[in-house]
Amino acid sequence: MATQGEMPVVLSSNLRVQERKDPSLFVALSRWKKSGRLLSLKKGVYLINTPYRKAPVNEFYLSQLLEAPSYISLEKALEFHGLIPEGVPVFTSVTTKHPRTYETMVGTFRYFHLHPRFFWGYDPVEQNRQTGFLARPEKALLDFFYLRHADASQAYLTELRLQNLKRLNLKTLRQCAERFNKFWLTRTVDRAIRFLNEEKSKEKNL
């Protein structure tokens, strides 16, 4: 793991632990903010400005610092897994806390509320020795259907332009839907599976 000095983000909570050994840390923190060396992302979370940064920022890591617990899901996770063709400018995540959006100099981070019993189906992702959390392909799509209230009609799914369907396990997708125990969501997923099976056949014939 990277040390605090090697990380692109400074947390005031970490400094409080070290303050007993070095009371000057918070004085330095105040000076760094005033000088522009540190950029405030939210209370207690500061990004080291570019000239002083020793490591690039991992947005997935930053996402879970801004709102914890959380994991990247919905459109951003679908993009990461290569399931949709276009880039997504907003970092979409789910959290067990209230929904909110952070507009930062790194990008926009949007959080959707998900009940704790649905908060599963994700894995740690490490880049530049910074760890964030990312939904698995099936859970990202399920979160998308659930939180976007998608109807999974043929027209809607065609417009979504899902691709690289071999990365999706449709049996796992169905099992995930069953865990939600919501009739409308299971019905939506069943419609999507029928559509995706047809699209998988088309991919094989290309």
Upper half-sphere CA count for residue 16 (Cβ side, 13 Å): 5
Whether residues 43 and 75 fall in one domain: no
- What pLDDT score was predicted for residue 28? 77
Q: Global pTM?
A: 0.89
Domain limit, last residue, from 52, 74, 92: 52
- The whole-angstrom separation of Cα 56 and Cα 179 is 38
Domain limit, last residue, from 31, 52, 73: 52
Q: What is the pLDDT of residues 172-191, one digit of tens each?
A: 999 999 999 999 999 999 99
Whether residues 107 and 125 fall in one domain: yes
Whether residues 67 and 44 fall in one domain: no
For 18-67, give the DSSP string: HHTT-TTHHHHHHHHHHHTSEEEEETTEEEEPGGG-SS---HHHHHHHHS
Banded pLDDT at 23 (limits 50, 70, 90): low
Whether residues 47 and 63 fall in one domain: no
Whether residues 45 and 81 fall in one domain: no
Whether residues 91 and 190 fall in one domain: yes
Number of domains forming the structure of the chain: 2
The answer to whether 93 and 109 have CB atoms below 8 angstroms apart is yes
